[in-house]
Amino acid sequence: MDLKRILSTEGLNWWTVVSGIGLNFVFTAFLFLTMTAFSEQGFPPWLYTILMCAGAFLIPMITAYVCGRLADERYLTYALYPLVGFLILTVPGILFAGVFGVLMTAFGILGAFNGATLVARRAMKRRREIYGPDSSGESPS
């Protein structure tokens, strides 16, 4: 894993990156607003805590999976850059929620990299079906 290649912006599809940032931001804002409404309605704290943690993991995972499928290459790059939309809302939570804010941020980062791993496995399986077990990506001659 080459960190320079992951962080390189050369050749990125910026529409995919910006769409991923927006998708993360909108879903995370919806998650926070929904959980705020749940807490004001008298739901038990353990329930919305579990839902917040599950949402913090699933939202970046789904976004990274979708962005990786659209790009079909450099999966970690397309998981890392759209993560900004999630972090804009969760990083201030570290200041106000303490350990729970750190937990939410960690779940989001792990979810994004999990989504990238899922799409990479799918792409590798597809390449093996097309090109054979060597999966070099080159067409057989």
Q: What is the pTM of this model?
A: 0.84
Mean pLDDT (the chain, rounded): 87
Whether residue 47 is contained in a domain is answered as yes
Whether residue 111 is contained in a domain is answered as yes
Whether residue 140 is contained in a domain is answered as no
Whether residue 139 is contained in a domain is answered as no
Whether residue 136 is contained in a domain is answered as no
Are the beta carbons of 107 and 90 closer than 8 angstroms? no
**Which of 28, 19, 26 shows the shortest CA–CA distance to 105?**
28
Are the beta carbons of 88 and 105 closer than 8 angstroms? no
Whether residue 19 is contained in a domain is answered as yes
Q: What is the pLDDT of residues 115-129, one digit of tens each?
A: 999 998 888 887 788
Domains identified in the chain, total number:
1
Q: What is the pLDDT of residues 11-38, one digit of tens each?
A: 888 999 999 999 999 999 999 999 999 9
Whether residue 30 is contained in a domain is answered as yes
Are the beta carbons of 79 and 115 closer than 8 angstroms? yes
Domain limits for position 81? 13-130
Looking at residues 1-11, what average pLDDT do you find? Answer: 78
Which residues fall within 8 angstroms of residue 127, CB to CB, at 6 or more apart?
135, 137
Whether residue 1 is contained in a domain is answered as no
